[in-house]
Structure formats: C-alpha cells, structure tokens
Structure 1
Amino acid sequence: MGLKVGDRIPDFSLKDQHGNTFSTADFTGKKPLVIFFYPKDNTPGCTKEACSFRDSYEEFTERGAEVIGISADSESSHSTFAARYNLPFVLLSDPKNKVRRLFKVEKSLFNLLPGRETYVVDKGGHVIMSFNNMGASGHMSRALKALKKIS
C-alpha cells in the first residue's frame, strides 16, 4: 500500500513535459499539491483521468493547489499528450519509477500495470488524502473534495 494520511511525502525532483526540473522543495510550505500517478499516456483510462483533472483544473488552482501527473512515459510523450488534450498542469516523467517507489504505489492487474493512485498533500507536505483504484473515474472528484476541506 502507498503512503497513508498523515505521512510526509518524500522530496523528489523530476523533469516535466517541457524538460524543466520540477522539485517538491519549491512547493512545500507554499501550496497544496494534487499528485496523481497513472499508468500510461494516451490510453483510454489515463486520458479520461487526465481530462477530468483538466476540466476541473480551475477549481484546483482557485484553492491554491498545483496539479501534477506522474507516469514512466518520456518527457516528449508527456508533451504530445498534454498538447493533444490541452492539459494545463505539470506532467512528470519517472522513467525508472523512482518516485512511484518512494510513494509505494504498487502495480495492479496481476502485477502487470503501473498502479493508479492519487494523493492530496497539504502545504506542509503531509498526505491528507490517498485514493488507489485502477478505475479512472473518482480520482479527481475525491481529490477536489479533500482539497475543499483544507482551503
């Protein structure tokens, strides 16, 4: 099982879809984070999940949160995915699944697919919500509900 409510997230840095380095250290103490781990760019479930975050992105930013998607796909794959579906948030490339392991996101479906897990993290870097479900629906709504409780 992944990180639990109350756990502090590990510090990490990864490259985003533009080749820039994203570091949690730049956000801890400043704003909440919504971090969703997903299996793969341009697949039906992952596209549905990413688009649900896109469609409610303004509600997240109005509450001061940064939305971040993470998968093992390359920066260029993320760039294409973000452009194709007009995704306004950061997509991070974790090709060796280093951050996925730090968050203890387990594989699903007979240990074949990378897991789908969403975390809401408060300004202090502590998990206030985690949701692990391979179904793409429900991640965004649960994250927004958790964020509303702290904003």
Structure 2
Amino acid sequence: MAIKVGDTIPNFTAKDTKGNDFDSQNLVGQKPLVIYFYPKDNTPGCTAQACSFRDQYEDFKDMGAEVIGISSDSTASHQKFANQYQLPFILLSDPDKKIRHLFGVPTDLLGLLPGRVTYVADKNGMVTMIFDSMKAVNHIPKALEAIKKLR
C-alpha cells in the first residue's frame, strides 16, 4: 500500500554512508523532512538531482528541514558518491528495497528502473507532498515549495 498525502512517514532503519545505523524515529516528528528515492548513484539524472539538492541544501536547513536520499546502492557506493559531489545530506542504503516497498515507490520503464519519488513531511511526520517524476531536477523546486508552505 503506497503512502499518500496525510499519512505519517513509517518507521524504518538503514545504513548511512558511514555504515552507521539510521533510525527514522530520530528525525520523524522532530523536523520537516524531504525523503527522496532515486534509481542509482553516479548516473546522469541521479547525479544532477543530488547536486541540485546539495546546491539548495542550506535553503532546506534554513527552514529547519532535513534531506534524505535513498537508493538500493551499497554504503560504499553512497560514500564514494557523497565524497565525489560533496553531498552534505543523509544518503541511506536500501539494498533489499524494504524501505522502497514500505513507501510504495513504483518502478518506471515497464518495471525496469526503480522509481524517482520525493516525499515531504511536516515536523509531525505527516506527508504533505509526494512528487513522482523521472525528471530529476524538477524534484528540488517542488520540495522547496512544499517546505516553504509548512512555515
């Protein structure tokens, strides 16, 4: 069952770029969140998306929000990706796609590609916006606009 606007972000755990355990309960309900699912590290669209989130990261932080990127890549891949592009936000590894399934992120291109979906949640953990588009750079202005509306 896919998450809808008005639902609460579910609890999940994953490994971050340093191999540390990340628990969503430490952030959900504490501050606004932008959680974005993307297909793969170091691909043109995903790199453009990550760099756009990086370039606007201070704007998100200034509004009290945290950005979290999730893909099925390994922590080692995420670490290399984050270092190469100086990504300041959290990247989580979802190798078994459990988190992707928990959120109900669809696949694209006849099920061949993991979907690209951004979720924005308010400081109570309630989803206020879902943006599903393979156009990578369109996610950042949509997420910023949604976070601004929460203020």
Scaled by the length of structure 1, the TM-score of the pair is 0.97
CA shift for structure 1 position 2:
3.8
Q: How many residues align?
A: 151
Query: Which residues in structure 2 correspond to 1:103-122 (within 5 Å)?
Result: 103-122=103-122
In structure 2, what is the equivalent of residue 29 of structure 1? Answer: 29
2:2 and 2:58 map into 1 onto residues whose CA distance is 27
> Which amino acid in the other structure matches residue 130 of structure 1?
I
> Which amino acid in the other structure matches residue 123 of structure 1?
K
> Which amino acid in the other structure matches residue 105 of structure 1?
V
1:28 and 1:140 map into 2 onto residues whose CA distance is 20
Which segments of structure 1 move beyond 4 Å, counting only runs of 4 or more? none
Query: Which residues in structure 2 correspond to 1:71-82 (within 5 Å)?
Result: 71-82=71-82
> Which amino acid in the other structure matches residue 119 of structure 1?
Y
Point out where structure 2 has 5 or more consecutive residues left out of the alignment.
none
> Which amino acid in the other structure matches residue 49 of structure 1?
Q
1:10 and 1:29 map into 2 onto residues whose CA distance is 11
In structure 2, what is the equivalent of residue 9 of structure 1? Answer: 9
User: What is the Cα-based RMSD across aligned positions, in Å?
Assistant: 1.0
CA shift for structure 1 position 136:
0.6
Tell me the secondary structure at the aligned position of residue 137 of structure 1.
Answer: helix
Point out where structure 1 has 5 or more consecutive residues left out of the alignment.
none
In structure 2, what is the equivalent of residue 90 of structure 1? Answer: 90
Tell me the secondary structure at the aligned position of residue 143 of structure 1.
Answer: helix
In structure 1, what is the equivalent of residue 38 of structure 2? Answer: 38
Are the equivalent residues in 1 in contact too, given 2:107–2:115 (CA < 8 A)? yes
Tell me the secondary structure at the aligned position of residue 61 of structure 2.
Answer: helix
